[in-house]
């Protein structure tokens, strides 16, 4: 403490230095936290990407299966309709005779 300076001025200087030191410490802490978060993100991100790609693959395969099922059902209906039409014609001719 300086005896020549008034107490209030000394107190203000002390507070100012404390605030500056705290501010610097906070900035350093934030930088460290960001760096650590980036490291964690690098480790976690690939796992999440793998999971989401697996889910997407499952969904797309399910959709493909549904589409193929619908197409095959439509084809079956068309085939059966084509086969049934000639049979009906034959039956109609026989009934007329």
Q: Is 80 exceeded by the pLDDT of residue 8? A: yes
Q: What is the pLDDT of residue 33?
A: 92
The tens digit of pLDDT for each residue in 19-29 reads 989 998 999 99
Rounded to 10 degrees, what is the CA torsion of 49, 52, 56, 62? 140
Q: Is 70 exceeded by the pLDDT of residue 7? A: yes
pTM of full prediction above 0.75: no
The set of long-range contacts for 75-82, using a CB threshold of 8 Å and a minimum separation of 24, is none
Mean pLDDT score of the chain, rounded to an integer?
A: 76
Q: Provide the number of structural domains found in the chain.
A: 1
Domain limits at 4? 1-97
DSSP 24: H
Under 8 Å between Cβ of 10 and 1 = yes
Q: What is the pLDDT of residue 1?
A: 56
């Amino acid at each position: 403490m300086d005896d020549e300076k008034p107490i209030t001025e000394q107190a203000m200087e002390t507070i100012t230095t404390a605030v500056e030191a705290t501010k610097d410490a906070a900035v350093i802490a934030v930088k460290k936290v960001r760096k650590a978060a980036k490291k964690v993100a690098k480790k976690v991100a690939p796992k999440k990407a793998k999971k989401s790609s697996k889910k997407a693959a499952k969904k797309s395969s399910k959709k493909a299966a549904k589409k193929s099922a619908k197409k095959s059902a439509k084809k079956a209906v068309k085939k059966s309709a084509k086969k049934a039409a000639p049979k009906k014609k034959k039956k109609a001719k026989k009934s007329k005779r």
